[in-house]
Amino acid sequence: MEINLNVINQVTVITIAGNLDSSTAPKAEEKILPLARPGCKIALEMSHVPYMSSAGLRMLLLIYRQISGSDGQVVLVGLSEELKDTMAVTGFLDFFQIYPNLESGLATII
In whole angstroms, what is the distance from residue 13 CA to residue 41 CA?
9
Mean pLDDT of 98-109: 94
The helix/strand/coil state of 51 is coil
Q: Are 90 and 59 in contact (CB under 8 A)?
A: no
pLDDT, tens only, 65-102: 999 888 899 999 999 999 999 999 999 888 999 999 99
Q: Using 50, 70 and 90 to split pLDDT, how confident is the model at 19? A: very high
Residue of 71, 85, 35 whose CA lies nearest to 44: 35
The one-character DSSP state at 100 is: S
Q: Which CATH number characterizes residue 41's domain?
A: 3.30.750.24
Cβ atoms of 79 and 110 closer than 8 Å = no
Domain with 6, as residue range(s), is: 2-109
| Number of domains present in the structure of the chain | 1
Q: Average pLDDT, stretch 15-37?
A: 94
